[in-house]
Structure 1
Amino acid sequence: MKKTFDYIVVGGGSGGCVVAGRLSEDPDVSVCLLEAGGGGQSSLVNIPAAMVAMVPTSVNNWAFDTVPQMGLEGRKGYQPRGKALGGSSAINAMIYVRGHQWDYDHWAALGNTGWGFKDVLPYFRRSEHNERIGNHLHGRGGPLWVSDLRSDNPFQQRFLEAARESGLPLNDDFNGEEQEGVGIYQVTQKHGERCSAARAYLLPYVGVRNNLTVETRAQVQRILFEGTRAVAVEVLQNGLVRTLRARREVILAAGAFQTPQLLMLSGVGPKEELQRHGIPLLQDLPGVGQNLQDHPDFVFVYKTSSLDAMGVSLAGSTRMLKEAGRFRRERRGMLTSNFAEGGAFLKTREGLDKPDIQLHFVVAPVEDHARKLRLGHGLSCHVCLLRPRSRGTVSLASKDPQAAPLIDPAFLQDPQDLEDMVAAFRLTRRLMQAPALANWITRDLYTDGVDTDEQIRTVLRRRTDSVYHPVGTCRMGDDPLAVVDAQLRVHGLQGLRIVDASVMPTLVGGNTNAPTIMIAEKAVDLIRGIGRVCSSARTETTATTENNNEASYVVA
């Protein structure tokens, strides 16, 4: 393996795959991507419904725990994070949601020039190939395929009918002019298979581009500096520690938990935190690991006798065998399901200018992140608070790079978050009790008889956890607690940039995978010095090239 490259990308998740894939389009630039996990090409990754074998386990998954959460009765939360090429896009529910346009204008208003919605929209469009929607808000020909679900589940229409019965608006494009409403999610799938960031941006070019090196099972332990310039990384692979050098930049894309961890292990972060672990201080950046934001999420769980809902039963197993055959023949049916097929963005009270909660309607019973199974079939509905006030932290457990970081989302720490979740609970239950759904429900497992505000607060504290959208721990800005500038360069250092969800100053109102891919698309132009707004001509040319050269999908 070569020891020197122009760019070293740390982390093969959504940000890293985009950056490595795009930068390596230039044959005069050498790029090395380092991923601690595996190749992200197994059937567990490619078959959408197989996510149920990864999210609750350590398969392709870091499977982190949080520290005890005082707002959740002292419980530890669960934080699955992808550990394979594609990162969390290799194990997630594939939902394609960008967030509200206001979110990006808010980033710009905070002083992050070039990050308003009009600035980032070209990068969303550049990345996207939307099979159904073609307009000024969507892209065609990009590497990331965005499709309607192919599961053909009748509960989709029942969910929409329940919305009509509840007097809620419908929405067939959550990324359109208006976000509010109830609808069926579009997903990052191509022909019924998962389209992870790795399959979209990276895997078609591994072994094809001589200037692209991808190393798996390679965990970066620290960044090495000459003065204040990042020049190399220390990598543990196959039991050996090696040093790889970067002529131009080291680009961190290890995610909202491990990017701040890696910075602190390398001497960049809050002085007191580094001193506590005996790590020599290179750059005192007190904002590293601060500002952690995540969507607090509560899940309603119901039993049903319908085999259209997934579950564990003899009849269900027989049907799934038939569905497996259908998937092989047609790439349709239950195995193409992302489980969270329906959703909504809703306002819990009048006078709000944008939705404050999001729903994920799941055609299966989800208990404890699918780590708890029971016989029978069921439905679930997640409800999360889109812009929580609580702020958490990521800190070091020790200076051992193999130790997991200490993750504290501080869920429901701000009392107003709990009160907002009470309103979210009531609105979601109203939808789920509409006849179109209630007629199919045989038992409410956890919220039957929960009626008063205090009863709701109790069940929220008992069962709320993450919906897997951590961001903000190396936030963008120009104040003393900001970690990167609007060019995503780490303050006070040279040759070091961050390209992942940790740079988000505030949590977007929606799922975070598509925004992370957008950030990476924009980062490539920043690295190349192209400027704030991409050329539409370049967008079309690049997208067409990517589409035509895409490797075939193979499912074992």
Structure 2
Amino acid sequence: MSFLHLLILSGLFQTIRTAGLTGYQINGGVNSLLGNSFGQPGVEATYDYIVIGGGTAGNAIAARLALDPAGYSVAVIETGSFYELDNSNRTTVAGYDYYSVQAETPPSFVNYNIPTVPQAGYNNRTIDYAQGRTFGGSSALNYMAYHRPTIGSMQMWADAVQDDDWTWDNVLPFYKKSVNFTAPDYTKINPQFDIQYNESVLTPPGGPLQISYGNHMFDYGLALQDGFEKIGIGAINGTNAGNLIGYGPQTGTLNPVGATRDSSKTSFLETAMQNTNIKIYQTTTAKRILFDDNKEATGLVVEMQGIHPTAQYTLSARREIIVSAGAFHSPQLLMVSGIGPRATLEDLNIPLVAESEGVGQNMWDQPWIGLAYKTTYETQTQVILNNPNVTGQAVSEYLANQSGLLAGIGGGESVGWEKLPSRSRASFSNTTLALLSRFPPDWPEIELDPLAYSPVPDNVSSTDHYITLGACLVAPLSRGNMTISSNDTNDRPIINPAWMTHPGDMEVAVQAFKRVREWATASGIATAAAYNPSADVRTDAQIVDWIRENGNLIYHPTSSCAMGPSSDPSAVIDSHARVRGVTGLRVVDASAFPFLPPRASDGDDMLAEKIADYILTGQ
């Protein structure tokens, strides 16, 4: 048996066993069967709360509601199933995280891979957008990076929704409530990293989401830190204390005990499954939300996928329905249920329940560019190429000691954020400068990221290593949208992130491209000619052409069901996530953000914790 097969089999068994999914548990003499956690397909049932979407926010809010001492009954509806079963260990082993966002043939069972419309800013290319189709949602697919937004960006949030509950001081307790932090383990991480962080914003342990620095960091990170210093970006005391102007190692959603991904499924959902009577419905799609004559959400029609794909039945809610289907599917579900732009619903003969012009609009997303370099430092290149010697050793270290190349996220050793320096801004138009000035002083304009994964040339050797150094626009000016083509949620939503359609974004991207090159040169990490783009790409015009043909994404769509005050006609929900125009219905996921703060994947957890607190305290 190969090392890889051994890893898959032993790792999968360990994941299932430790998760309490062995079929049953004996707790104090009580026999708790695995099937007790599953709703019975095809049978109509009533719950206090129904959560639509078992993703990052959905599992978190469902768990908090189910764990409340009041003993509320809670159901979670998820179109997908369990990623450990549907996608082997490619979504569980930390070092395999690059697999999960790739378009696959045949298509992945855990990834929607929704194609965008042709993107005008990217030479009319159509790009597959990864979104989680599994319990855990996109927390089961992402690169596991975890960092929080800034103090100023949360003040901007509070101002935008006219509710001081959303200031940094008022959301920090909910960030802390979600996580269980593990300090760096220098028996597995090179102690030269000397990782600095603010422990007060991470402790005491709240849980159940595990965050750590992983059990492996590539040594190129030390060179990149030196490169940051040389180009004028200084160190910061961690990435979770409300300050992101500077550089530092990044925490990730990794359980350091097994060096495995910790998703909302392995943390929140499994905690609820082991301690409550929560019911989950797998491979079940929400078709439409039902309302009574008073426009109160009372239930939803669902459809079981598989052998009987057209078998529909109704689940009812005594208290509330919570939509947590993500930035594309949450607005889709609202629209097919009669909440959305009047013209869209009339064109598709969908009865209007509540007119809401903002549904599907105001979508924020962050463009990303990645420059590939050959380097003498070790990266993940040989693992990706399945070099048997490298892979065999990596698997052995992982299984024996939860260390080595597979025990970290393959990035995040040194991540930097900055407002572009004055010499970079000299070429910006007055319009661009004015728009960027609206962001708070602590809101970075670009994020500089290393990835141990990189495209490689056809003639790559068994000793070559390549690295990606990228730049993300974290203060984007372009706004996208999504809509629907039918009243059927089985049909894919039509998504248009509209990357680089605002001219200011391209101005910033050109300078970000140049900063990546400065960083690469200053660090000494690029010891050979750049692979892509080549050094021949030098002028601004050439850089623009390259970005339009090679620009990509970082999978952070938000704000398509944006939160806002009653005075804002485009606001879909209020500051407590209640859908305007109806009752008994909330939207709790990244689509609810009023805008996209400069953060990684953790804002969904905070939102879920905060809205759960509102619900449980009668707000």
Q: What SS class does the counterpart of residue 200 from structure 2 fall into? A: coil
Q: 1:116 to 1:315 in 2, by over 3 A?
A: closer
Of 422, 426, 431, 2:514 maps to 426
Of 584, 595, 598, 1:495 maps to 584
AA matched with 1:347: K
Q: 1:319 to 1:11 in 2, by over 3 A?
A: same
CA distance in 1, matches of 2:80, 2:460: 33
Alignment of 1:39-438 (within 5 A): 39-42=82-85, 43-56=89-102, 57=104, 58-113=108-163, 114-132=165-183, 135-142=199-206, 143-176=208-241, 178-191=243-256, 192-206=259-273, 208-210=275-277, 212-227=278-293, 228-238=295-305, 239=309, 240-304=311-375, 306-311=377-382, 316-341=387-412, 342-350=414-422, 353-354=441-442, 355-366=444-455, 375=460, 377-438=465-526
Structure 1 residue 46: Cα displacement: 1.8
Q: 1:374 to 1:387 in 2, by over 3 A?
A: farther
The farther-off stretch of 176-185 and 270-279 is 176-185
AA matched with 1:288: V
The farther-off stretch of 136-145 and 249-258 is 136-145
CA distance in 2, matches of 1:177, 1:19: 24
CA distance in 2, matches of 1:428, 1:338: 21
Contact 1:9 1:31 in 2 (8 A): yes
Of 484, 495, 516, 2:573 maps to 484
Of 64, 67, 77, 1:22 maps to 64
RMSD: 2.0
Structure 1 residue 41: Cα displacement: 3.5
Structure 1 residue 109: Cα displacement: 1.0
Contact 1:299 1:366 in 2 (8 A): no
1:475 is matched with which residue? 562
Structure 1 residue 302: Cα displacement: 1.7
Q: 1:327 to 1:308 in 2, by over 3 A?
A: same
Number of residue equivalences = 524
Structure 1 residue 28: Cα displacement: 2.3
Contact 1:303 1:445 in 2 (8 A): no
CA distance in 2, matches of 1:119, 1:288: 27
The farther-off stretch of 236-245 and 199-208 is 199-208
Q: 1:22 to 1:498 in 2, by over 3 A?
A: same
Contact 1:311 1:375 in 2 (8 A): no
CA distance in 1, matches of 2:467, 2:166: 38
1:517 aligns with 2:563: no
The farther-off stretch of 108-117 and 424-433 is 108-117
Structure 1 residue 330: Cα displacement: 1.1
CA distance in 2, matches of 1:45, 1:84: 11
TM-score (norm 2): 0.81
Q: 1:28 to 1:314 in 2, by over 3 A?
A: closer
CA distance in 1, matches of 2:350, 2:147: 39
Structure 1 residue 506: Cα displacement: 1.0
1:460 aligns with 2:511: no
Q: What SS class does the counterpart of residue 123 from structure 1 fall into? A: helix
Structure 1 residue 530: Cα displacement: 6.2
AA matched with 2:240: N
Q: What SS class does the counterpart of residue 522 from structure 1 fall into? A: helix
- Structure ranking higher in strand proportion: 1
Deviations 1:523-547 (A, max 9, x none): 101111266xxxxxxxxxxxxxxxx
The farther-off stretch of 136-145 and 403-412 is 136-145
The farther-off stretch of 494-503 and 398-407 is 398-407
Deviations 1:49-101 (A, max 9, x none): 22232211324111111100111111112310111111100111111111222
TM-score (norm 1): 0.90
Q: What SS class does the counterpart of residue 231 from structure 1 fall into? A: strand
Identity %: 31
CA distance in 2, matches of 1:59, 1:52: 16
Q: 1:334 to 1:112 in 2, by over 3 A?
A: farther
Q: 1:451 to 1:287 in 2, by over 3 A?
A: same
Structure 1 residue 221: Cα displacement: 1.0
Q: What SS class does the counterpart of residue 506 from structure 1 fall into? A: coil
CA distance in 2, matches of 1:318, 1:428: 32
Contact 1:4 1:245 in 2 (8 A): yes
The farther-off stretch of 392-401 and 483-492 is 392-401
Q: 1:469 to 1:497 in 2, by over 3 A?
A: same
Q: 1:530 to 1:501 in 2, by over 3 A?
A: same
Q: What SS class does the counterpart of residue 76 from structure 1 fall into? A: coil
Contact 1:47 1:336 in 2 (8 A): yes
Q: 1:290 to 1:332 in 2, by over 3 A?
A: same
The farther-off stretch of 242-251 and 335-344 is 335-344
Contact 2:236 2:247 in 1 (8 A): yes
1:5 is matched with which residue? 47
CA distance in 1, matches of 2:276, 2:455: 42
Contact 1:131 1:140 in 2 (8 A): no
Q: What SS class does the counterpart of residue 602 from structure 2 fall into? A: helix
AA matched with 2:545: T
CA distance in 2, matches of 1:313, 1:126: 36
1:528 aligns with 2:612: no
AA matched with 1:47: V
Structure 1 residue 493: Cα displacement: 0.5
Q: What SS class does the counterpart of residue 363 from structure 2 fall into? A: coil
The farther-off stretch of 70-79 and 301-310 is 301-310
Contact 1:300 1:447 in 2 (8 A): no
1:451 is matched with which residue? 538
Contact 1:96 1:188 in 2 (8 A): yes
Gaps of 5+ in 1: 532-556
Q: 1:131 to 1:315 in 2, by over 3 A?
A: closer
Structure 1 residue 366: Cα displacement: 4.6
Contact 1:343 1:360 in 2 (8 A): yes
Gaps of 5+ in 2: 1-39, 184-196, 426-436
The farther-off stretch of 66-75 and 373-382 is 373-382
Structure 1 residue 306: Cα displacement: 4.6
Deviations 1:148-179 (A, max 9, x none): 13124211212212223333212351222531
